Structure 1
Amino acid sequence: IVFLLTVSCGTKKIVVKDSEPVLSLIPIPAEIIYDRAVVSYFELTNTAEIFVEPENEEIKNVAEQLAEKLRTSTGCALKVSSSNGRTEKGNIYLKLINDNSSGDEGYKLSVTKDFVTLEASKPAGLFYGVQTLRQLFPNEIESGIIKKIPWRIRTISIKDFSRYKWRGAMLDVARHFFKVDDVKKYIDLLAFYKINKLHLHLSDDQGWRIEIKSWQNLTKIGGSTAVNGDPGGYYTQEDYKEIVKYAREKFITIIPEIDLPGHTNAALASYPELNCSGIAPKIYTGIEVGFSSLCIEKEITYKFIDNVIKELAAITPGEYIHIGGDEAKSTNEKDYIKFIERVEKIVKSHGKRMIGWEEISKANISSSSVSQFWDSPQHAIAAAKRGMKLILSPSTKIYLDMKYNESTPLGLFWAGYTDVKKSYSWDPETEIPGVINNNILGIEAPLWSETLKTIKDIEYMAFPRLAGAAEIAWSQKRLRQWENYRERLIIHSKRFDALGVNYYSSPEIK
């Protein structure tokens, strides 16, 4: 982090050690410049406005999201309009500029006593800059209640850009179903930490959660229950479109997953013809894995998959469909390889690229498909050798459903206990010997829901670990250091409180 210090012979730029946290920003920006000797502020007043340049719907949407956040906490009217090239004191300016030096997601934020200026080459950069700006305001900005306090920001200059283009989180809505509003709340939290992908695990042994109009029993039967016999549920295609639209407004792409050929008991229970025996098994409410498989030899299996992918692709604007592929213990390897190769062709035929869990690297598939590492370095290395890009989700580091410690009331521990330090103290470049940074698309933090029933359960297992995963994915490697992060997180936990997040209050951050 770079700071400007005022000294007797003038102002000069120095580099301060990363171990000295100055702000509680998460993820930490690439460069922060300010004058430590002179403390001054920009103060938001009742006359403040937000100006955009140029005026288009996407930029206005970003500005309106900032305005609404400030209106509900400050009581200021904060009209959003075009600047028409003007710069007047007391206002906030969002500008698109013809400078792509910080990439499509980068931004420059300048706070002076007179005004706040946020510049980026793309709307995504403005959006991520707004998330940083929110964190510079008092924590009360997140309360949604008007507070009569000084609404001011320290004068500062920030230049920031992303490390990885894939900064993901996964939510398992199959083991337990979460309603649209719960998913939206999770999206809000992801966006705040500059996460840009939400992978929805839509099917598993315990539940099928997305309407497929050509196979309606999938939701009628397969979506009827959950782990422990808890209530089931599913998203209509209109529900799913609503989630996709909401996420897009916050620059998050939805990645839908239909897990194949294993983890399919909900589908098999819905349609007897998908079983080799022709007999449908009972619906399943336990948490064991590896016992189910589609019938690889039956042609109806591929008609089913084609129909499902076709309907899902039609309502998914993003370029990827995730086909699972993990823990297919009831499918022999020869059949598994043949199956994955055929499914890749089906996904491509509907204009999408295939993502699968790491096991798909056993098949002879193209380098356009993406492998998601979770357990075996050998699978990751095999994928890299094929020229495939990798998403890193090491289960021992960022599986968010792993217990923090033995006394954690939720979660599992098959991959070990994962405290806040452990989940932060790893780096994608060095996680898998033989896999270099050029092979890595980014990282993703999965949250499986065997033990989770409510949004509060989701928050408890995700936070604060998800904030650390976001920093690993966004921030530059040279800036990341546990003690620095821990000190920032201690301060930042007050913002969790203001956001109303039911986070785990770890002794590591007290």
Structure 2
Amino acid sequence: MTDGFSVSFAKIQKKVNGIDFEYIFEEVWTGNIVNKPPVIIPLSESFFNFAKINFIHTKMKHFIVITFALLTAFVSISAQHVIPTVESFSVGEIGVYAFPNRPLKLYTHRIAQRAENVLLTDAIGGKVLKKSMKPTTADVVLLYDANCETEAYGIKISRKGIKITASTHNGFVYALQTLRQLRNADDTYNFCTIVDRPRLKYRSFMIDSGRQYHKISTIKRLINICSALKMNYFHWHLTEGQGWRVEIKQYPRLTSVGSSVANGAEQQGFYSQDEIRDVVKFAADRGVTVIPEIDIPGHFEAALKAYPQLGCQNDSVTIPESGLTDQVMCAGKASSWKFVTEVLDEVCNLFPSPYIHLGGDEASKKRWKICPDCQQKIVENHLADENELQLWLSAQMANYLMKKGRTVVFWEDILHTEGVSLPDNIYIQWWNYLRGKETGLKAAMRAGRPVIASTNLHCYLNFPETPWKGYAKNRTFSLQDAYLNNAADKAAADFPDTVVGMETCLWTDYNLIEEQLDERLFPRIYAIAEQMWSRGKRLEFNDFQKLIPSGIFILK
């Protein structure tokens, strides 16, 4: 190019796989040419048939030849799409960075070391790396920047190489996940600058391994998906009426009996404590914290099958094929409280998460009404009824975990009554939008509780796109519904001081087996991940939908 001339990217409307697109490039004149208005040249699709394009500025007699290779670079830049979308993406100098034909020089700050070990090789296409002691001499730099917010990161790709900045492990993880998506098919990277940070501090995915047992390899794949979509929590639902999945040393029958009480396909099995520790480390390396859920007092049939004395009556236990029964943990017996504390002790030793989920949803009060121990507990604590008894039990469990420095998450159901004071370490998960609309959200706000929004309509990915088994039409939704009409997303915008995060859930009711998980996850999980992470202006749905194919490639 001649002196005083450069080309900058002005506007993109992109389309992939046959959709119309337009590129507009702008001449930017510098140097001796002062106050000269830029020349805007729209390029139609037909121009792509030419090997070169001539830019002529008649007055200045400049003749610039842009080769087809440079035009290809423009096209590639337009196709840079990352899911979730980044807060700021800019292009200064136009160009493509290709790795040199030698081992790459890599500088890594110690805080970035774990992220580098797990993700960098994949992000740079398996290139051979050689450590560099100085960032100024390295091709790839992972540099600590104290000015970056906790999960924020920056990426700058230029002729000098790739520079990544962050201040935390998670920040470096997210940067490398973005870099994976920036890599072109020929292992090159278009010059760009990215600055990115999350919209919500709590971004979570839940898998129901209580109803259906999942192989460790499946759990790890789901964690990889969380990490790729910049979700920082993996909510592992480990106990259900159909199965108790977490090994508890003091109560061995929970797994020897409780893990195989259901008879359907993929409904038998449990996770040893060694397996759980492995999963927790695997997730942490990828910027994901595993939150265990031990559901108390309802959804408890598998535990009662193993230890019937934990119920109000020591009678036979019925394992539901789907749904639930009125068989719950007794809230009045001293042995029940002993069980709760001993289980929680082991759970806390296995999971370093700051959050422990204790369920609390859909707990029948039928047996508590006729249980002498439960009724005595109501009298002793001056409670009004069985709903207050559950609230009291929830407060007791939260207080116990407060001593261990943990925050407890409960489903909104515990707030069906307001007669008991709750400790400060409780978050409420709002879920039942289909039946109660904003009831759970409003109850949490009255109680002054932080809220995790996971409204079943549009956040529950077990709801199929078309009716299936027990899911009627009113329990279905599309990608477009999830993107445009998610009540959890709206609540996060309307009540930012209350809604600290969002969660998307994949329950496994009606024997949803492993080979069916992907058809529930994709593509709708992309819409929810976008809502959790992206702070920029929301794309129109049609534009967002066009981004999805590359995301699938990245995740699978």
Between 1 and 2, higher relative CO (CA 8 Å, sep ≥ 6) is seen in 1
Q: CA, structure 1 residues 429+286, in 2 after alignment: closer, same or farther (shift >3 Å)?
A: closer
2:336 partner letter: T
Aligned mates of 2:91, 2:325 — CA distance in 1: 55
Q: Is the 8 A contact 1:261 1:293 kept in 2?
A: yes
- Indicate the larger mover: 324-333 or 424-433: 424-433
Give the total of aligned pairs.
466
1:371 maps onto 2:428 in alignment:
yes
C-alpha displacement at 1:96, in angstroms? 0.6
C-alpha displacement at 1:427, in angstroms? 5.6
Q: CA, structure 1 residues 305+76, in 2 after alignment: closer, same or farther (shift >3 Å)?
A: same
1:420 maps onto 2:474 in alignment:
no
TM-score (norm 1): 0.84
CA deviation digits over 1:186-233, x for unaligned, max 9?
111110111110000000100000011111111111101446364411
In structure 1, the partner of 2:314 is: 278
Unmatched tracts of structure 1, length 5 or more: 13-19, 141-149, 501-510
Alignment of 1:26-425 (within 5 A): 26-35=83-92, 39-49=94-104, 51-54=106-109, 56=110, 58-69=111-122, 74=125, 76-79=127-130, 81-88=131-138, 91-100=139-148, 103-138=149-184, 150-226=186-262, 228=264, 230-282=266-318, 284-330=319-365, 332-361=386-415, 362=417, 363-375=420-432, 376=436, 377-406=438-467, 412-413=471-472, 416-425=475-484
In structure 1, the partner of 2:27 is: 7
Larger Rg belongs to: 2
Q: CA, structure 1 residues 411+465, in 2 after alignment: closer, same or farther (shift >3 Å)?
A: farther
CA deviation digits over 1:259-318, x for unaligned, max 9?
111100001111121111122414x25112353311122111111111111110111111
Aligned mates of 1:436, 1:499 — CA distance in 2: 32
Aligned mates of 2:474, 2:355 — CA distance in 1: 28
1:496 partner letter: I
Match of 1:444 among 499, 503, 518: 503
Aligned mates of 2:470, 2:552 — CA distance in 1: 21
1:326 partner letter: D
Unmatched tracts of structure 2, length 5 or more: 1-7, 11-24, 31-36, 39-76, 367-385
C-alpha RMSD of matched pairs (Å): 2.7
Q: In percent, how many aligned pairs have the same letter?
A: 25
Aligned mates of 1:307, 1:413 — CA distance in 2: 41
Q: CA, structure 1 residues 317+75, in 2 after alignment: closer, same or farther (shift >3 Å)?
A: closer
Aligned mates of 2:421, 2:345 — CA distance in 1: 23
1:330 partner letter: K
Aligned mates of 2:223, 2:108 — CA distance in 1: 27
Aligned mates of 1:411, 1:245 — CA distance in 2: 36
1:87 partner letter: T
TM-score (norm 2): 0.78
Q: CA, structure 1 residues 374+131, in 2 after alignment: closer, same or farther (shift >3 Å)?
A: same
In structure 1, the partner of 2:71 is: none
Aligned mates of 1:351, 1:231 — CA distance in 2: 34
Q: Is the 8 A contact 2:413 2:440 kept in 1?
A: yes
Aligned mates of 1:122, 1:110 — CA distance in 2: 18
In structure 2, the partner of 1:25 is: 82
Q: CA, structure 1 residues 455+61, in 2 after alignment: closer, same or farther (shift >3 Å)?
A: farther
Q: CA, structure 1 residues 443+231, in 2 after alignment: closer, same or farther (shift >3 Å)?
A: closer
C-alpha displacement at 1:120, in angstroms? 1.3
Q: Is the 8 A contact 1:411 1:452 kept in 2?
A: no
1:422 partner letter: D
SS at match of 1:119: strand
C-alpha displacement at 1:22, in angstroms? 4.9
C-alpha displacement at 1:39, in angstroms? 4.7
Q: Is the 8 A contact 1:208 1:234 kept in 2?
A: yes
Aligned mates of 2:210, 2:158 — CA distance in 1: 48
Aligned mates of 2:106, 2:500 — CA distance in 1: 35
